Structure 1
Amino acid sequence: MTTPVVLVPGLGLGPESYAPTLQHVEAPYEVVTLPGYGSKARRGDDLHTEALAERLAQRMPERAVLVGHSASCQIVVAAALAHPDLAKALVLVAPSGDVRASGWPTLAARWARSAVWDDPRLVPTLSRQYFRTSFPSMARAMEAARHYDLAAAVRRLEIPTLVVRSEHDRIAPQRWIQEVADLSHGESWTLPTGSHMPVLTNGRELAAFIHRYAGVYKAG
């Protein structure tokens, strides 16, 4: 039986960030946006990871494979820990969350080193999504997210977990991805192309990973 898939966009991104992946997904799915992650945050919104995880759980009527990208990986992990009955498996795409590298200068440097590998043709779609979410919302969300210790959290997971990155991603380097996979007793993969936006650049490969955990079996 195929399990539905719930996807949370990365920081500042919207549902369209998953479009290149979802065009290959052959399972029921829903993209859930949250304040700072596809929708503009209101003044009183609590943007801490655990609070956003509760918002996510409230919008999940049934058990699903949870997919996060970048900082939203922390949200799906927190949701899986708080509501284990709602999470069948996790697919963590290019996760941030290494508190040892969470200072603003380090984050900015890693972002710049990753961005130089991104296709310039991504700029218009990324810009539209960032402006819609708003930069103040993104800054507030990132300030909250950078204090969440993903390594400590994934130690407590008891569901299948996949961690995947792209070759030129400096926000989610190979060492960090392997550490998250080891701590969660999961598996890690590095895609041979792309940088920090594999949801936009490596959609077919990500869909294949999602299929494995959602129980989609394709002939051939």
Structure 2
Amino acid sequence: MQEITVAVSGRPMVAWRIAGRKPPVVCVHGAGVSSREFQPFVEVLGRRHDAWTVDLPGFGASAGPRHPLGLRALADALVEWLTAVDLDQVVLLGGSLGCQVAVDAAARHPDRIAGLVLVGPTVDPAARSFLHQLLRWMRNAPHEQASMAPLNLADYRDAGARRIVGTFAEALRDRIEDKLPHVVMPTLVVRGAQDRMVPQEWAEEVTRLLPAGRLAVVEKSGHMVPYRQAHALAGLVTDFLTHAFPAAGAGGMSGQRRSAR
């Protein structure tokens, strides 16, 4: 996996890449974590496609300003980073808060984004409060792998409490449901069947609001699908790319339950 560092707004942004077939797939991590959560998935997807995972400003190995960036500013930094690494017509694959960043970027820069994959999209309007999200996180925790704990602790250390809290508050303020109807490109919504952060009803509503959305459910997974079910997610993404972008080449998907809007 190749490490690539470029300057965005005068600060280094760090990404990792496995080169392959277009379109490029760029993974965008969630709140408080980093590209580490996507590296198992990138290693699998990179066997077929051009796969990237990037640290947003202030997270992981990427430098950030003293104050946490707002969601719109994170999306702008992502688009600026795409320019810096000479990427265009990409598929953004967001996880959790990364879905909100990807949707904001796609809604405001549709000429740069060819498609989206939204894995565990947040925040469900029915639980738009710190208490609701904390309770859902506690119910979801038993469905995640214990091996993620050291990675999460390293991510939290890198980001710092102020940035984590500020970014989480941004996630709660963001009304993703108002932006989804303006996302015109092909979009795959993915939910873990055991995800207690993203109920099935909300995943279906996200898909319904999208002009060109489809929904897939991954069995035996909680919220962190890319880490727990890297092979299953790679199969879903390969299948999505094959149908949405025929030049991406043939690919299969097996063993997963799918539902269309």
C-alpha separation between the residues in 2 aligned to 1:83 and 1:116? 38
- In structure 2, the partner of 1:34 is 56
Which residue identity lines up with residue 42 of structure 1 in the other structure?
P
- In structure 1, the partner of 2:125 is 99
Q: How does 1:135-214 map to 2 (within 5 A)?
A: 135-185=161-211, 186-211=213-238, 212-213=240-241
Change (3 A) 1:209 1:217: same
Change (3 A) 1:117 1:217: same
SS in 2 for 1:51: helix
1:164 to partner: Cα distance:
0.5
C-alpha separation between the residues in 2 aligned to 1:209 and 1:27? 13
The percent of aligned pairs where both chains have the same amino acid is 29
Bigger mean CA offset, 206-215 vs 69-78:
206-215
Give the aligned CA root-mean-square deviation in angstroms.
Answer: 1.9
- 1:67-111 Cα offsets, whole Å, 9 max, x none, are 100011000001011111111110000111223311110010001
Does structure 1 residue 110 correspond to structure 2 residue 136? yes
C-alpha separation between the residues in 2 aligned to 1:177 and 1:219? 23
Would you say the 8 A contact 2:30–2:95 is kept in 1? Answer: yes
- In structure 2, the partner of 1:71 is 97
Q: TM-score of the superposition, structure 1-length normalised?
A: 0.92
Would you say the 8 A contact 1:35–1:137 is kept in 2? Answer: no
Does structure 1 residue 24 correspond to structure 2 residue 44? yes
Return the match for 1:126 from 148, 152, 172: 152
- 1:131-151 Cα offsets, whole Å, 9 max, x none, are 222222111101112111111
In structure 2, the gaps of 5 or more residues are 1-20, 254-261
- In structure 2, the partner of 1:43 is 66
1:37 to partner: Cα distance:
4.7
C-alpha separation between the residues in 2 aligned to 1:219 and 1:105? 40
Q: Which has the higher strand share?
A: 2
Bigger mean CA offset, 97-106 vs 109-118:
97-106
Bigger radius of gyration among the two: 2
C-alpha separation between the residues in 2 aligned to 1:195 and 1:174? 12
- In structure 1, the partner of 2:250 is 217
Would you say the 8 A contact 2:59–2:155 is kept in 1? Answer: no
Change (3 A) 1:2 1:181: same
1:36 to partner: Cα distance:
5.4
Would you say the 8 A contact 1:90–1:159 is kept in 2? Answer: yes
In structure 1, the gaps of 5 or more residues are none
- In structure 1, the partner of 2:76 is 54
Change (3 A) 1:216 1:16: farther
- 1:13-32 Cα offsets, whole Å, 9 max, x none, are 22221111111112112222
Which residue identity lines up with residue 2 of structure 1 in the other structure?
K
Which residue identity lines up with residue 149 of structure 1 in the other structure?
R
